């Protein structure tokens, strides 16, 4: 272990945690120093919103803290039921199932849908939780080049698997680009496949009233297995899967990561109901976020490539691991928290700064970031 840890250090790939001691909106105290946080997935600035905090406190007073058991034993509370109904309606589906984390929903739903002898067709850049779910299923996993619809079509046409599942992120978490969802659904219909869309970085941000990437694309189909994350734009914690009533009943019976774990704390469900209200009424927040994105994209940074993203995720490609880490440290010294993302999270040679913008940022904070990026010693 020690030898391999030393090798990670030499390669510039050893990770470290930073400790947050305090926060107020986008201002964080990190490892003892004040910073502006451009590292978070809190895209609407809701994570410390007083209405959500108050709802969590009310929930704790009403329900206590822990659920005490799995949802299928005695840990499914009335507020969980209400939240599942609200989430399903919000994303235009018949039903939904609540999970404690996005990793649990992705690693559990895929093995519940496909198994040995079946086939999974996954974009090369899907999230690690989807990869792990695919591996756990023991289905044949076929990765197609990122966004390459022709390669996907060819693989689907050659498959004789009895059950097929296409898997994609909606917004890719390290590149910030959006999957071609209408074209993916057409291929799913043509080749009789499920389409699983992980909308972790689209839910709450994209589409009318933040209803997500499928709503933005105008898609509705019983073939879609919709995954929404509740710890990013929603500002709380957890995740859900939504779809047809038959799909959700099947997943309730078959998803091991749902069946064999303690239910999520009911106070979080209370907080999420308040968060949904804020998301639905949050057009001003989404407009503010769009202005921040436009301002950053209009800026020029020498010797670095800003990937063509229209979302809150704005990756600045630097290439070398040490270079990315050094730039992140320069920004931290300037009071700006922007993480360096390195392999294996991203492909070799594409280390980057992953800039996450939020409606919680002010114009002045974004201008400060742009100024610092333009004077980086890269």
Task: Catalogue the active-site residues.
Answer: 173, 201, 232
C-alpha separations of 370 from 97, 306, 373 in Å? 41, 12, 5
**For the CA atoms of 166, 179, 237, 344, what is the dihedral angle to 10 degrees?**
80
CB 345, CB 48: distance < 8 Å: no
SS3 25: coil
CA-wise closest residue to 239 among 126, 44, 99, 108: 99
- Whats the size of the chain, residue-wise? 378
Give the chain's end-to-end CA distance (angstroms, integer): 33
- With a CB cutoff of 8 Å and minimum separation 6, the contacts of 284 are none
What is residue 161's three-state secondary structure?
coil
CA neighbor of 241 nearest in space, from 348, 97, 128:
97
Quote the CA–CA distance of 123 and 283 in Å, as a whole number.
31
Instruction: Please state, in angstroms and rounded to a whole number, the distance separating the CA atoms of residues 65 and 234.
Output: 20
Residue 344: asked if its preceding bond is cis (omega within 30°), the reply is yes
Residue 210: how many other CB atoms lie within 10 Å: 27
């Amino acid at each position: 272990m020690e030898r391999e840890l030393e090798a990670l250090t030499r390669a510039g790939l050893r990770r470290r945690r930073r400790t947050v001691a305090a926060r107020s909106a986008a201002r964080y105290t990190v490892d003892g120093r004040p910073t502006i946080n451009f590292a978070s997935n809190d895209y609407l600035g809701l994570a410390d919103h007083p209405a959500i905090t108050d709802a969590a406190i009310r929930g704790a007073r009403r329900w206590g803290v822990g659920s005490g058991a799995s949802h299928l034993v005695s840990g499914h509370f009335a507020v969980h039921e209400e939240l599942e109904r609200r989430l399903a309606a919000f994303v235009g589906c018949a039903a939904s199932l609540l999970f404690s984390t996005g990793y649990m929903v992705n690693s559990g739903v895929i093995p519940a849908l496909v198994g040995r002898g079946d086939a999974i067709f996954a974009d090369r850049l899907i999230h690690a939780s989807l990869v792990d779910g695919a591996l756990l299923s023991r289905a044949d996993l076929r990765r197609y080049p990122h966004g390459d619809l022709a390669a996907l079509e060819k693989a689907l046409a050659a498959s004789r698997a009895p059950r097929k599942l296409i898997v994609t992120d909606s917004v890719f978490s390290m590149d910030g680009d959006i999957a071609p969802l209408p074209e993916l659904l057409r291929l799913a219909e043509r080749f009789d496949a499920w389409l699983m869309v992980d909308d972790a970085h689209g839910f709450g941000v994209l589409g009318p009233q933040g209803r997500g990437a499928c709503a933005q694309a105008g898609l509705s189909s019983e073939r879609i297995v919709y995954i929404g994350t509740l710890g990013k734009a929603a500002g709380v914690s957890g995740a859900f899967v939504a779809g047809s009533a038959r799909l959700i009943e099947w997943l309730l019976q078959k998803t091991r990561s749902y069946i064999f774990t303690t239910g999520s704390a009911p106070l979080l469900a209370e907080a999420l109901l308040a968060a949904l209200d804020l998301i639905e009424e949050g057009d001003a927040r989404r407009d503010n976020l769009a202005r921040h994105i436009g301002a950053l994209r209009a800026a020029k940074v020498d010797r670095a490539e800003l990937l063509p993203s229209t979302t809150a995720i704005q990756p600045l490609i630097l290439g070398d691991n040490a270079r990315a880490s050094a730039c992140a440290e320069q920004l931290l010294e300037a009071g700006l928290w922007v993480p360096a993302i390195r392999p294996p999270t991203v492909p070799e040679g594409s280390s980057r700064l992953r800039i996450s913008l939020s409606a919680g940022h002010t114009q002045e904070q974004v201008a400060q970031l742009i100024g610092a990026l333009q004077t980086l010693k890269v």
